[in-house]
């Protein structure tokens, strides 16, 4: 697996990262914890995946707990780069205060069974008061933890792309990582189109692209019931998924699903090498294998161009998230 520099953090991360929110049951129950242990071990040992991303929010701390159990069986702490988050917790529960940041980091380390965290990100900053995040509380509290060596790097995550320049232009804290989601995939390339990717890259901020399957929209199974996409986007993605399943054989000679097209597209075709890693959600050992294989297979141009045509009417459509403060 190719490794890339993560901005100025000093970390080198695999081009495909292990998104651990499904381990918290976010998309449905997992096969078993034994299967999750196998997925994490094979990701590291067999496929060279070294980036893992989670949050206390995913499954109400369940993702961190299961991932901690899996990682503890690897032995070598230097074999992986571990990212989690602060600020977003249970359903509609947000707390970006300095006191909560410190307590949250300690709790995450306990659940993840580690003594240090490599990356801690402010989770979905569009739900926070901007001055609390920027100036007074969240980022300064994370910077103190970085100075103390408890965490390696500080990040931001959020849906509206404007949050990144807005925060970076107004904070004295050095932000190391930006995690954007659902904006660098088959139906949405706005991370690159908006100029935000170039802006971050030129500032030396390491960029992570999450949700290359647009949180399930670009899968045969389709999105979970909570998916916030507007109906037209859901309908176009579902039609494209059906079309791929029905026409893959005649185009490629083998069965291919839309996910197997969407993943390599996000990793290879978006961002001109400015994205350090693409985080895909892994719920099982079988899903891991499918994604590693999909990344190795050649992209079928005919299939890809037809799907892009089908998704063109909803290209870069998104949905509202948080307050419109950015």
Enzyme catalytic residues: 58
- Token match 């579902």: residue? 238
- For residue 147, the cross-strand partners are none
CA distances to 202, 215, 222, 306 from 235, in Å: 37, 15, 10, 16
Q: By rule CB under 6 A, what string of x and - marks binding of each residue 274-313 to ligand NAD?
A: -----xxx-x---x--xx----------------------
Confirm or reject binding of residue 188 to ligand NAD (CB under 6 A).
no
Of these, 117, 119, 215, 303, which contacts ligand NAD (CB under 6 A)?
215
- As a whole number of angstroms, the distance between CA 270 and CA 78 comes to 29
Structure tokens at 211: 């949700």
Stretch that binds ligand NAD, among 102-110, 129-137, 170-178, 253-261 (CB under 6 A): 253-261
Confirm or reject binding of residue 264 to ligand NAD (CB under 6 A).
no
Q: By rule CB under 6 A, what string of x and - marks binding of each residue 56-95 to ligand NAD?
A: ----------------------------------------
Confirm or reject binding of residue 265 to ligand NAD (CB under 6 A).
no
Confirm or reject binding of residue 120 to ligand NAD (CB under 6 A).
no
Structure tokens at 267: 């990793």
Number of residues that bind ligand NAD (CB under 6 A): 29
The answer to whether 121 touches 157, Cβ cutoff 8 Å, is yes
- Token match 């290209």: residue? 315
In terms of CB distance, is 48 or 322 closer to ligand NAD? 322
Structure tokens at 52: 């893992």
Which of 141, 77, 70, 132 is CA-nearest to residue 104? Answer: 141
Q: By rule CB under 6 A, what string of x and - marks binding of each residue 8-47 to ligand NAD?
A: -----------xxxx----x--------------------
Confirm or reject binding of residue 219 to ligand NAD (CB under 6 A).
yes
Greatest Cα-to-Cα distance within the chain, rounded to the nearest angstrom: 58
In terms of CB distance, is 75 or 86 closer to ligand NAD? 86
Which of 257, 259, 247 is CA-nearest to residue 302? Answer: 247
In terms of CB distance, is 92 or 148 closer to ligand NAD? 92
CA-based end-to-end distance of the chain: 36
Which of 1, 142, 164, 135 is CA-nearest to residue 80? Answer: 1
Smallest gap from Cβ 57 to ligand NAD, in A, equals: 8
**Helix (H/G/I), strand (E/B), else coil: 154:** strand
Confirm or reject binding of residue 211 to ligand NAD (CB under 6 A).
yes
If you ran DSSP here, which 8-state letter would residue 183 be given?
S
In terms of CB distance, is 109 or 244 closer to ligand NAD? 244
The answer to whether 191 touches 261, Cβ cutoff 8 Å, is no
Contacts to ligand NAD by CB under 6 A: 19-22, 27, 53, 123-124, 157, 179, 181, 210-216, 219, 257, 259-260, 279-281, 283, 287, 290-291
């Amino acid at each position: 697996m190719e490794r890339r520099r993560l901005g100025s953090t000093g970390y080198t991360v695999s081009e495909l990262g292990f998104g651990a929110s499904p381990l918290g049951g976010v998309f449905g129950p997992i096969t078993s914890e034994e299967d999750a242990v196998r997925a994490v071990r094979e990701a590291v040992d067999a496929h060279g995946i070294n980036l893992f991303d989670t949050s206390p929010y995913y499954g109400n701390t369940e993702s961190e707990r299961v991932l901690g159990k899996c990682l503890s069986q690897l032995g070598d702490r230097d074999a992986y780069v571990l990212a989690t988050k602060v600020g977003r917790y249970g359903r509609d529960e947000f707390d970006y205060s300095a006191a909560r940041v410190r307590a949250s980091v300690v709790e995450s380390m306990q659940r993840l069974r580690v003594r240090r965290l490599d990356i801690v990100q402010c989770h979905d900053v569009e739900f926070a008061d901007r001055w609390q995040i920027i100036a007074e509380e969240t980022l300064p509290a994370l910077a103190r933890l970085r100075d103390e060596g408890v965490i390696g790097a500080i990040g931001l995550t959020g849906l509206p792309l404007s949050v990144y320049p807005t925060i970076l232009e107004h904070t004295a804290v050095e932000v190391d990582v930006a995690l954007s989601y659902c904006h660098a995939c088959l139906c949405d390339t706005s991370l690159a189109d908006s100029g935000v990717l170039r802006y971050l890259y030129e500032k030396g901020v390491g960029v992570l692209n999450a949700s290359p399957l647009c949180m399930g929209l670009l899968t045969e199974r389709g999105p979970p019931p909570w998916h916030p996409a507007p109906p037209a986007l859901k309908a176009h993605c579902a039609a494209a998924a059906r079309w791929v399943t029905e026409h893959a054989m005649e185009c490629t000679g083998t069965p291919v699903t839309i996910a197997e097209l969407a993943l390599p597209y996000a990793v290879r075709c978006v961002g001109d090498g400015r994205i350090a890693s693409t985080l895909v959600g892994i719920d099982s050992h079988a899903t891991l294998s499918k994604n590693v294989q999909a990344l190795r297979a050649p992209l079928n141009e005919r299939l890809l161009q037809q799907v892009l045509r089908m998704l063109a009417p909803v290209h870069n459509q998104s949905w509202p998230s948080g307050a419109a403060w950015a």
